[in-house]
Amino acid sequence: MDSEIGHIINAAKLHTKLYGDSLPMIASENITSPIVRRLVASDLGHRYAEGRVGHRYYQGCKYIDQIEETAIKLAKRLFEAEHVNVQPTSGVNANLAAFFALTDPGDLLMPLDVPHGGHISHARYSAAGIRELKIECLPFNNEEMNIDADLMVKKILDIKPKIVMFGASLFLFPHPVKEARQAADDVGAKIVYDAAHVLGLIAGKQFQDPLREGADVVTGSTHKTFPGPQGALILCKSDVADEIDDAVFPGTVSNHHLHHIAGLAATLSEMIAFGEDYARQTVANAKALGQALYETGLDVLCEKNGFTESHQIAIDVSKYKGGAKVASNLERANIIANKNLLPWDDVNNPDNPSGVRLGVQELTRLDMKELEMEEIASFIKRVVVDEEKPEKVKKDAILLKRRHQIVHYCFNRGSAYGFPEYR
């Protein structure tokens, strides 16, 4: 075998082994089920199917149509959505399509600011800027780690945005969608809810239900708490369906990723069967981790509100040299997390923010429960508070992880870390 290919295969094997021995706690990731992995590796990944079901610009799409139609049908059922588009290739792509569908250049967008948890695609330097939107941020209450609903209503009536944008990357508590609906109607604004992080919790009915609370459009990645292949979907009301579809194709996607659509359809089916149990355990685990870390003396945000209602918790580690140092020490102990801006941080200085963000959705899928969360909290305490050598803690992290190698909450459970052999 060519030596560079051999090198790549070796690196991929080592990566797989590293994750098999690690505790992955990045809140935006997940692992797919064995069935989904097979579909993602199928011939579908080589093909083109520009257009919509039954109206393609390429031949050979007979079975692709069946797959995409099934994905749409399952998503409509799971999310009780009037209309679904499964073609965006990422969450940012879905947001960009929503902006193109609902605004003109120069219109006003009202999202969360990035240090308050807003995603870069809601900001001038990403998708919102590409659509040339002006931005006025939602008022935020740092204590509650949530939008201030009263101030929000006043601001909507005052500045009359074209889109009120909910959803976040640091997303601990449900957003005030219901509270915004009347004000949005009064000024002719649409409500877009970016469910990238919480799509799986919404599917499992353990978070808010943005469509019923008044969102016109819901965008979301399909690979965070929703444990599918990387990609995104858009759920919306019928009255904006044509604009959304046109903004996806031909607006912002040419060929969507057909192997991921097949994997998405299978994940939707698995979430219909197992999503409630999975989402319930995920939220219970996040709360348990928050409580256990708080008891170690760490400054876990929002103790008085139970730390979180989602899959994430946030810790202010400024007194332990900040998020960059802590995340890097945790990595040495095989605990994979990310440094994170907190509301009091400077957005122009993202390299050493005060926070770390921890997500439990992937560990939950590997059948970890409250007891394991307590064990992980003790590892984190040893690294961060006790300043024990991370390499010593790593041994215990590996022992814990070796007991959790099988993907749960899916049909045909199987190994999370298999690697096909090549000769």
Which residues of this chain interact with ligand PLP, rule CB under 6 A?
28, 90-92, 119, 121, 167-169, 194, 196-197, 221, 232
CA 208 centroid distance within chain: 15
226: which DSSP letter?
Answer: S
Task: State the Cα–Cα distance between residues 229 and 216, nearest whole angstrom.
Answer: 25
Cβ-proximal residue to ligand PLP, closest one: 91
**Nearer Cβ to ligand PLP (26/400):** 26
Closest CB 357 distance from ligand PLP, rounded Å? 10
Find how far residue 256's CA is from the centre of its chain: 20
Per DSSP bridges, beta strands 217-221 and 190-194 are parallel
> What is the CA 28 to chain-centroid distance, rounded?
4
- Where do we find the tokens 């994430």? 312
As measured in angstroms, the least distance from the Cβ of 221 to ligand PLP is 4
| 23-24/338-340 β-pairing | unpaired
CB 114 within 8 A of CB 124: no
| CB nearer ligand PLP, residue 194 or residue 213 | 194
Residue by residue, DSSP assigns 149-175 as HHHHHHHHHHH--SEEEE--SS--S--
The answer to whether 344 touches 304, Cβ cutoff 8 Å, is no
Residue number with CB closer to ligand PLP (170 or 397) = 170
Question: With b meaning 16 or more CB within 10 Å and e meaning fewer, what string describes 116-130?
Answer: bbbbebbbeeebbbb
Rounded CA separation 332/148 (Å): 39
Amino acid at 270: E
3-state DSSP assignment of residue 125: coil
Comparison of 169 and 281: residue with beta carbon closer to ligand PLP:
169
* CB of residue 28 to ligand PLP, shortest distance in Å: 4
Q: For 327-332, which contacts have Cβ atoms below 8 Å and span 24 or more sequence positions?
A: 327/356, 329/383, 329/384, 329/390, 330/356, 330/380, 330/383, 330/384, 330/390, 331/390, 332/383, 332/390, 332/391, 332/394
Q: Tell me how far, at minimum, the Cβ of 75 lies from ligand PLP, in Å.
A: 16
With respect to ligand PLP, which residue has the nearer C-beta, 32 or 291? Answer: 32
- 94 vs 377, which CB is nearer to ligand PLP? 94
Q: Which is nearer to ligand PLP, 161 or 167 (CB)?
A: 167
| Residue type, position 229, single letter | P
- Which CB atom, from 163 or from 393, has the smaller least distance to ligand PLP? 163
Q: How far is the CB of 128 from ligand PLP (least distance, A)?
A: 11
Residue 422 CB, nearest distance to ligand PLP (Å)? 29
| Minimal distance, residue 170 CB to ligand PLP, in Å | 8
251 touches 97 (CB < 8 A): yes
Q: Which is nearer to ligand PLP, 168 or 298 (CB)?
A: 168
**Cβ 27 to ligand PLP shortest distance, Å:** 8
Tell the smallest beta-carbon distance from residue 182 to ligand PLP (Å).
25
CB of 229 to ligand PLP, least distance (A): 11
Helix (H) or strand (E) holding 233: strand 232-236
The residue among 85 and 329 lying less far from ligand PLP, judged by its C-beta, is: 85
* Residue among 199 and 393 whose Cβ is closer to ligand PLP: 199
Q: C-beta of 67: minimal distance to ligand PLP in Å?
A: 21
Q: How many helices (H) and strands (E) does the chain have?
A: 15, 19
Q: Which residues pair with 300 in a beta bridge?
A: 315
